[in-house]
Amino acid sequence: MSMITERPVSNSAGQPPVRTAAEGSVAPRRDVRAVVRAYVTLTKPRIVELLLVTTVPAMMLAADGLPSLWLVAVVLVGGSLAAGAASVINCYIDRDIDQLMRRTKRRPLPAHTVSPRSALIFGLTLAVISVALMAVFTNLLAAGLTLAAIVYYDLIYTLWLKRTTAANTFWGGACGAAPVLIGWAAVTGSLSPAAWGLFAVVFFWQMPHFYPLAMKYKDDYARAGIPMLPVVASTRRVNAEILIFTWLTVLTSLAVWPLGMSFVYGVPTLVVGGVLVVEAHKLARRAASGQAVKPMRLFHWSTTYLTIVFAAVALDALL
């Protein structure tokens, strides 16, 4: 990538083209911004944001109110770095299949914006910093869970499960739900039934959240040879699993209600859970009747569902 661009500049003396001062100063700045943006993209900021939505409310419930702001800041920074590290290493491992999929071929590694070696070093550095932060400023349980989540996501899920089994989303669900346990452990140094209950909510939620996305990009996954459930199973089977896990998500969220929470949590959770179930059944009915399936509607609503449920967790803890 050239750091200075050149173009002909007319002059009356007929001299060779020259570089302008403006060109020599602007291009490097643009290139630096592009590189920084590429490294940020590798961390998948949207995933980081979604994970933090579950972490802070879990910490508030564990503290039965507002935990130390210093502790919240440490967990937010450490958790963001850990999630970013896992995503960067995921991009490094998946660089061979990312270049085959339309959805991912513009990521920094397939696009050659960042070299594989640089990405790996970046990811490992973030991982070390995140675990160190958690170990020094929280406790060993939280740090151990942080390390386990990174290792499980990259070595167990990305490197093995994702490429070998249609149950990869199910078994990989533990990674997405881990921030709940990490946040709880950072506050209390232990894990209670309520912590495991919220973990289960996020764990089951990931199937009705991710299967619709996999349905939309079914051809992409097939092209890359990734056995996502919509690639290897019938639409009927996929929708059956979506319905099963949607109901498990909602029922588990209601089972958490008696574990120290009030109607402030229970009522909104019941309402949005009902909407999630309705949306899942609508998707199944459209598929069964041969209508055009619109899986992204459920995908986006599932994100709203999780946000509202954990906002209710936080509000209940405050009140």
How far is it, in rounded angstroms, from Cα 319 to Cα 316?
5
- Quick one: which of 73, 74, 81, 71 has its CA closest to 51? 81
Q: Give the mean model confidence (pLDDT) for residues 65-72.
A: 95
Yes or no: say if 153 and 172 are a contact pair by the CB < 8 Å rule. Answer: yes
Residue type, position 291, single letter: Q
In this structure, of 39-53, 132-146, 163-177, the range with the lowest mean pLDDT score is 39-53
What is the model's pLDDT at position 277? Answer: 98
Measured between its terminal Cα atoms, the distance across the chain in Å is 55
Q: What is the mean pLDDT of residues 35-47?
A: 91
Q: Which amino acid is at 163?
A: R
With cut-offs at 50, 70 and 90, classify the pLDDT of residue 220: very high
Predicted pLDDT of residue 204: 98
8 A C-beta contact, residue 27 and residue 5: yes
- 169 within 8 A of 212, measured Cβ to Cβ: no
Stretch 14-30: mean pLDDT, rounded? 47
Residue 105 has pLDDT above 80, yes or no: yes
Residue (of 218, 314, 310, 308) closest to 272 by Cα position: 308
The larger pLDDT score, comparing residue 19 to residue 260, is at 260
- CA 191 – CA 95 distance, rounded (Å): 36
By CB neighbour count within 10 A (0-12 exposed, 13-18 middle, 19+ buried), where does 35 fall?
middle
pLDDT at 29: 55
Cβ contact 204:248 at 8 Å: yes
Q: Which residue has the higher pLDDT, 12 or 133?
A: 133
What is the helix (H) or strand (E) element at residue 96, kind and residue range? helix 95-98
pTM of this structure = 0.88
Mean pLDDT of the chain: 90
Is 50 exceeded by the pLDDT of residue 238?
yes
Give yes or no for residue 19 having a pLDDT over 90.
Answer: no
pLDDT tens, position by position, 274-309? 999 999 999 999 988 888 888 999 999 999 999 999
Name every residue whose Cβ is closer than 8 Å to that of residue 182 and which is 6 or more positions away in sequence. 55, 75, 79, 134, 142, 145, 146, 149
Query: What pLDDT is attached to residue 52?
Result: 80
